């Protein structure tokens, strides 16, 4: 038997108890799942917006490098001496110094 059905029968089975339970479940999901994820996405967007030349970064693919040139939607990253790759800004994941300290 469904646990929800048992719970509703034990409490009298009112229509409002189901509605209240659904609101509580949604509130729990919002505060423990949706809100932290939105906060992290805003932090990443702010980080990508404030990129600077010479900054050490890590791409989503795990490539470490230094920014040599910034364009509208792309960044030139030096991964080794005289080796540069063009990377989309959306694939830049984190600051390399912050990542190394974790």
Domain residue ranges in the chain: 3-45, 52-101
Q: Do 89 and 99 form a contact (C-beta atoms < 8 A)?
A: no
9 pLDDT above the threshold of 60:
yes
11 pLDDT above the threshold of 60:
no
Indicate the helix (H) or strand (E) that contains 15.
helix 15-29
Tell me the pLDDT tens digit for each residue of 81-101. Answer: 999 999 999 999 877 665 555
CATH second-level architecture of 52-101?
Roll (2.30)
> Token pair of 59, please?
């791409």
pLDDT of residue 17: 82
pLDDT of residue 56: 92
Angle at 9 between CA 7 and CA 13, to 5 degrees: 100
Q: What is the mean pLDDT of the segment spanning 2-22?
A: 69
Closest Cα to residue 77, out of 51, 102, 100? 51
Tell me the pLDDT tens digit for each residue of 57-83. Answer: 999 899 999 999 999 899 999 999 999
Q: Do 82 and 47 form a contact (C-beta atoms < 8 A)?
A: no
């Amino acid at each position: 038997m469904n646990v929800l059905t048992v719970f509703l029968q034990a409490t009298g089975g009112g229509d409002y108890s189901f509605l209240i339970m659904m609101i509580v479940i949604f509130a729990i999901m919002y505060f423990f799942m949706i809100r932290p994820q939105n906060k992290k996405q805003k932090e990443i967007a702010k980080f990508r917006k404030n990129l600077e030349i010479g900054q050490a970064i890590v791409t989503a693919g795990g490539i470490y490098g230094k920014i040599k040139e910034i364009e509208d939607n792309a960044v030139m990253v030096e991964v080794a001496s005289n080796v540069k790759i063009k990377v989309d800004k959306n694939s830049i994941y984190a600051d390399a110094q912050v990542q190394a300290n974790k």
